[in-house]
């Protein structure tokens, strides 16, 4: 672990090596992802009431943004851009299910702080909200669970979100990760179906839920915590996340996608850092 | 990042503190609210338990001559792979003094095809005798006509004897009580639906005309015959947003055993998956409002406008905002401030689904049409039960504060195999997937939140409850469904009866510290319905006020005894009692004697 400069580039920043993308729908790229996730929240809440409560979601967002401001100012010496923290906060606010208020704040706090603490060669290696949620699931299962249900009986909001998400991830050069993961999930669902003997649709069912929309558009595509070597490498990581998830699901792990990314994401980053360092030395 | 080692050290310390927080919170929560195991051990002997909590429970069903075991139905073969979770309800108990001898009797439902319901007549000597078969209310469970889910009692013709309404997955049945000596089936002329897959019903007088009305809440749609499925697309369309359940019936009683379906005219057109309902005047209008706890969705609270219309104010009041898995609704004035809190049970399973039960407490300063509720389950310590079903408020130790008994546990099969992963997998699926039972992974004998402990939450009177179930003797781990409270031996204490799915009927005899005073009221309406359902009794004593209402059904598939029981605490005297009858009349009793049940007739 080292401590150097922390940047808080928003999630929709262009992938390494790419030029800054043009504005999407006339919106500055930095604001595309925050606007998109806010849209998901609004669709989910207004159509189905997916939130535990407005107050608890607000608590998660406020905690994330406030902590980002404090840590950014104290440790980096300047006011950070808040898009990333906002996305982390809103992800926690949507995904957290708890009757208590404190897990919302704590999960956000762990997510944001992890960016500043768990760093290797100037990179944080875990997606913040994935880290926060995984830690909460491991340490506070008696008080914490995640959103695990579907949008409801109407397919349209989900299709709209998927379409918009595809446009945005294409725009920011991350669509190959999303597509690789989604295709892998559906194919591996078939494999799981063969192993378990359950209906194919029972195995594929989870990906139709709202949790996965945040997972594929915001967590596995996070530019700060995905490998940077090449698009092929990024797609490979997307596949490995789906593969790890398959094994976790076969072991009947309820939180398989979170734990799969929790393990594969940093492992891939560390491997890339190791390779980069070896190349630099040679 | 600034490279100050101090800043780095402080950051790491802060991070470590964050990671340690769940452990600290767990300890804090355990100390604050769920001390069952620890305090049971700490409490030690029976006398220590008695001294600490003021009561203890002893399971006495065998000694009482009650040997009842619930059996579940065997539904269509297409559901065989998930039968234990579909055929997971039907164990119910309701309390009635059907023969008006002054001793509370028990009606218990069974659900296996060919199984018998039981009517346990209280022999007044500590034992019960099943008279259901002799009186014609036993053999009611057939695949052709459906199987029992629960029963509620109310005197629909005001002849002084409580009549029986039996709701089923099938054809609901109405029995007239013939003077406590037998029952006559009057279903055919009553105007009831020919088939309803119902899990909840209640008697009430929603229009205050002195004739009892019925509310019946469907769970599965009424065109589904669970023994002969047309197809397997009969499951909820969503785990939290389902609106494809059974219809609801508001049946206006004519006082002669016939009913008029006024559901549509009353504005009740919900098709949520109702599992529990209860009625009480929550706004001081004199008319009963209707609370429905729904599985797979939000609760509904229907305000009664007194002109025959109901308006869903669930979202407005706060109780219908977050969708959960509502399985119980019971009312209790837990803070002795003359207002009802509402308890809704849900599902909590560590690390998988932590919905938490809801304790809806009226927000101070709100009322009438602007009534708002806050969920204070966490603050008051009654949030986490497990897979909770029935719950009832009652003063178990006669200390003057209402306690809460909650039963938990869904499907107890193989202790070492868990169905939760597969359950959560399908629960996240889109409508087309979750609504088709064929897509549901087979249970293969696995448990789903099985073998769970119960909660006996003792109210300290100051806004905190502590779970003392293990300490006081409520130690069973059957799949609890229906729970009721009744003074079965006329001793001035509330005993507890629990009906368990595919399990025995348990009778917990309560022994209470004798120094705590109590008073009871058995009401009889004259202008109001004779059962006095909807009558409110306010007892004022020692600077406190507690309100209770005579109920025609509450909890989960349950009905408590009709007489109202008030604990008062040590050496207390009642200052006055105000009775507000459904007719609108009021009666005041000045300084009624404690330690007895007062029989009060509407003047």
| From B69-83, B341-355, B522-536, the region with the lowest mean pLDDT | B341-355
Nearest CA in chain A to B441: A198
Is the CB of B428 less than 8 angstroms away from the CB of A137? no
Higher model confidence: residue B1 or residue A205? Answer: A205
Residues B444 and B207: their CA atoms lie apart, in Å, by 49
CA R_g for chain B: 24
pLDDT in tens, B501-552: 999 999 999 999 999 999 999 999 999 999 999 999 999 999 999 999 999 9
Taking the CA atoms of residue B43, residue B47, residue B52 and residue B54 in that order, the dihedral angle to the nearest 10 degrees is: 140
**Residue B84: half-sphere exposure toward Cβ, Cα within 13 Å:** 20
- Predicted-complex ipTM score: 0.86
Show Cβ contacts of residue B104 under 8 Å, excluding neighbours closer than 6 positions.
B95, B96, B97, B122, B486, B487, B488, B561
Question: CA nearest A199 in B: which residue?
Answer: B439
Whether A75 sits inside 8 A of B26 (CB atoms) is: no
Dihedral sign for Cα atoms in the order B411, B413, B417, B419: negative
| Percent of residues, chain A, with pLDDT higher than 70 | 85
Region of poorest pLDDT, from A16-25, A59-68, B101-110, B399-408: A16-25
Are the beta carbons of B1 and A6 separated by less than 8 Å?
yes
Is the per-residue pLDDT at B224 higher than 90?
yes
Query: Given a cut of 90, is residue A131 above it in pLDDT?
Result: yes
Residues of chain A in contact with residue B14, where contact means CB-CB under 8 angstroms, are 113
**Residues contacting residue B294 through CB under 8 Å, at least 6 positions apart:** B245, B272, B273, B274, B275, B300, B326
Measured between alpha carbons, how far is A229 from B392 in angstroms, rounded to an integer?
62
Residue B33 has pLDDT above 70, yes or no: no
CB contact under 8 A, B1 and A143: no
Is A36's pLDDT higher than 50?
yes
Residue with tokens 């355990």: B30
Beta bridge partners of B57: B510
Query: What CA–CA distance (Å, rounded) separates B580 from B588?
Result: 9
CA-nearest residue of chain B to A135?
Answer: B19
Asked whether B216 and B196 are in contact (CB, 8 A), the reply is yes
Where do the domains of chain A lie? 25-276
Mean pLDDT (chain B, rounded): 95
List Cβ neighbours of B135 (8 Å cut-off, separation of 6 or more).
Answer: B119, B181, B182, B183
User: Any idea which of B289-298, B327-336, B348-357 has the lowest mean pLDDT?
Assistant: B348-357
Residues of A in contact with B29 (CB under 8 A): 142-143
When pLDDT is averaged across residues B449-467 and rounded to a whole number, the result is: 96
Compute the CA torsion angle A78, A81, A86, A89 (nearest 10 deg): -30
**A199 contacts B431? CB cut-off 8 A:** no
Contact A113 B14 (CB under 8 A): yes
Measured CA to CA, the distance from residue B237 to residue B465 in angstroms comes to 36
pLDDT exceeds cutoff 60 at B256? yes
Using the Cβ of A110 and the Cβ atoms of chain B, whether some distance falls under 8 Å is answered with yes
A48 chain-B contacts, CB cut-off 8 A: 240-241, 323
Q: Which of residues 33-72 of A touch B (CB under 8 A)?
A: 48-49, 51-53, 71
* pLDDT tens profile B184-217: 999 999 999 999 999 999 999 999 999 999 999 9
Contact between chains at A206 and B429 (C-beta distance less than 8 A): yes
Q: Given B3, B428, B441, which is nearest A149 (Cβ)?
A: B428
Residues in B touching A98 (Cβ below 8 Å):
354, 356
Beta bridge partners of B536: B549, B580
The 8 Å CB, 24+ separation contacts for B439-443 are B439/A199, B439/A201, B439/A202, B439/A205, B440/A202, B440/B81, B440/B82, B440/B235, B441/A196, B441/A198, B441/A199, B441/A202, B441/B81, B442/A198, B442/B81, B442/B82, B443/B81, B443/B82, B443/B83, B443/B84, B443/B85, B443/B411, B443/B413, B443/B419
Listed by number, the residues of chain A in 211-240 with a beta carbon closer than 8 Å to a beta carbon of chain B are: 211
Query: Do A152 and B431 lie within an 8 Å CB cutoff?
Result: yes
pLDDT of residue B137: 98
Determine the distance in angstroms separating the CA of B308 from the nearest CA of chain A, rounded to an integer.
30
Radius of gyration, CA atoms only, chain A: 18
- Distance, in angstroms, between B591 CA and closest chain A CA? 43
**Chain A (8-27) residues lying within 8 Å, Cβ to Cβ, of chain B:** none
Contact B428 A211 (CB under 8 A): yes
Task: Please judge whether B430 and A144 are an interchain contact, meaning their C-beta atoms are less than 8 angstroms apart.
Answer: no
């Amino acid at each position: 672990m080292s401590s150097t400069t922390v940047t808080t580039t928003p999630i929709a920043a262009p992938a390494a090596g790419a030029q800054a993308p043009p504005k999407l729908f006339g919106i500055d790229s930095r604001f595309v992802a925050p606007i998109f996730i806010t849209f998901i929240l609004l669709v989910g809440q207004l159509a189905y009431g997916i939130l535990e409560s407005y107050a608890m979601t607000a608590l998660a967002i406020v905690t994330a943004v406030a902590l980002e401001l404090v840590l950014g100012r104290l440790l980096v010496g300047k006011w950070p851009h808040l898009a990333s923290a906002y996305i982390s906060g809103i992800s926690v606010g949507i995904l957290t299910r708890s009757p208590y208020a404190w897990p919302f704040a704590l999960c956000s706090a762990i997510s944001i702080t992890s960016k500043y603490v768990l760093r290797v060669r100037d990179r944080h290696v875990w997606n913040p909200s994935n880290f926060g949620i995984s830690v909460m699931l491991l340490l506070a299962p008696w008080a914490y669970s995640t959103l695990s249900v579907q949008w409801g009986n109407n397919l349209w909001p989900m299709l709209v979100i998927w379409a918009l998400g595809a446009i945005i991830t294409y725009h920011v050069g991350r669509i190959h990760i999303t597509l690789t993961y989604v295709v892998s999930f559906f194919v591996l669902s078939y494999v799981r179906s063969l192993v378990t003997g359950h209906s194919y649709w029972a195995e594929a069912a989870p990906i139709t839920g709202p949790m996965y929309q945040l997972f594929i558009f915001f967590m596995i595509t996070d530019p700060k915590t995905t490998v940077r070597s090449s698009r092929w490498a990024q797609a490979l990581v997307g596949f490995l996340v789906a593969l790890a998830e398959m094994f976790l699901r076969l072991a009947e792990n309820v939180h398989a996608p979170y734990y799969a990314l929790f393990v594969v994401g940093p492992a891939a980053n560390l491997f890339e850092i190791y390779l980069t360092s070896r190349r630099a030395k040679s | 990042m600034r490279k100050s080692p101090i800043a780095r050290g402080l950051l790491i310390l802060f991070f470590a503190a964050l990671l340690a927080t769940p452990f600290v919170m767990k300890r804090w929560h355990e100390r604050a609210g769920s001390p069952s195991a620890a305090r049971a051990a700490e409490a030690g002997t029976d006398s220590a338990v008695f001294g600490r909590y003021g009561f203890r429970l002893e399971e006495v069903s065998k000694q009482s001559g009650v040997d009842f075991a619930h059996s579940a139905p065997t539904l269509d073969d297409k559901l065989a792979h998930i039968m234990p979770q579909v055929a997971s309800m039907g164990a119910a108990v309701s309390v009635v003094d059907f023969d008006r001898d002054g001793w509370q009797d028990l009606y218990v439902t069974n659900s296996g095809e060919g199984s018998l319901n039981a009517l346990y007549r209280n022999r007044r000597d500590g034992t019960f005798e099943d008279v259901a078969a002799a009186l014609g209310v036993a053999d009611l469970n057939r695949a052709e006509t459906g199987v029992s889910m629960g029963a509620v009692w109310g005197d629909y013709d005001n002849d002084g004897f409580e009549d029986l309404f039996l709701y089923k997955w099938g054809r609901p049945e109405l029995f007239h009580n013939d003077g406590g000596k037998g029952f006559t089936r009057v279903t055919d002329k009553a105007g009831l639906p020919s088939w309803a897959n119902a899990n909840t019903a209640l008697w009430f007088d929603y229009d205050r005309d002195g004739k009892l009305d019925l509310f019946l809440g469907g769970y599965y749609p009424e065109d589904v015959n669970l023994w002969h499925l047309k197809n397997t697309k009969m499951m909820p369309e969503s785990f939290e947003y389902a609106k494809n359940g059974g219809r609801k019936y508001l049946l206006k009683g004519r006082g002669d055993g016939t009913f008029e379906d006024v559901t549509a005219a009353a504005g009740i057109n919900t098709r949520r998956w109702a599992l529990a309902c209860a009625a009480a005047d929550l706004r001081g209008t004199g008319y009963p409002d209707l609370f429905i706890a729904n599985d797979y969705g939000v609760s509904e609270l229907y305000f009664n406008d007194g002109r025959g219309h109901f308006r869903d104010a669930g979202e407005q009041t706060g109780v219908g905002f977050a969708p959960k898995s509502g399985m119980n609704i019971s009312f209790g004035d837990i803070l002795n401030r003359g207002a009802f809190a509402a308890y809704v049970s849900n599902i909590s399973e560590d690390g998988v689904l932590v919905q938490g039960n809801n304790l809806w407490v009226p927000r101070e300063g709100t009322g009438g049409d602007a009534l708002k509720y806050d969920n204070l389950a966490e603050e008051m310590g009654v949030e986490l039960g497990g897979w909770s079903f029935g719950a009832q408020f009652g003063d178990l130790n006669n200390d003057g504060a209402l306690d809460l008994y909650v039963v938990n546990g869904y499907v107890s099969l193989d202790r070492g195999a868990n169905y939760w992963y597969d359950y959560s997998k399908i629960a996240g699926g889109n409508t087309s997937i979750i609504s088709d039972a064929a897509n549901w992974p087979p249970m293969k004998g696995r448990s789903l939140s099985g073998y769970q402990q119960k909660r006996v939450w003792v109210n300290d009177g100051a806004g905190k409850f502590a779970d003392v179930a293990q300490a006081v003797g409520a130690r069973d781990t059957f799949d609890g469904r229906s729970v009721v409270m009744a003074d079965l031996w006329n001793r001035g204490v509330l005993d507890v009866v629990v009906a368990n799915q595919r399990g025995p009927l348990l009778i917990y005899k309560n022994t209470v510290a004798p120094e705590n005073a109590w008073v009871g009221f058995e009401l009889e309406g004259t202008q109001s319905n004779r059962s006095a359902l909807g009558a409110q009794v306010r007892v004022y004593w020692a600077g406190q006020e507690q309100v209770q209402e005579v109920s025609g059904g509450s909890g989960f598939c349950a009905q408590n005894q009709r007489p109202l029981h008030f604990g008062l605490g040590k050496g207390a005297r009642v200052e006055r009692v105000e009775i507000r009858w459904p007719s609108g009349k009021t009666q005041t009793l000045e300084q009624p004697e404690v330690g007895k049940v007062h029989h009060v007739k509407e003047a």
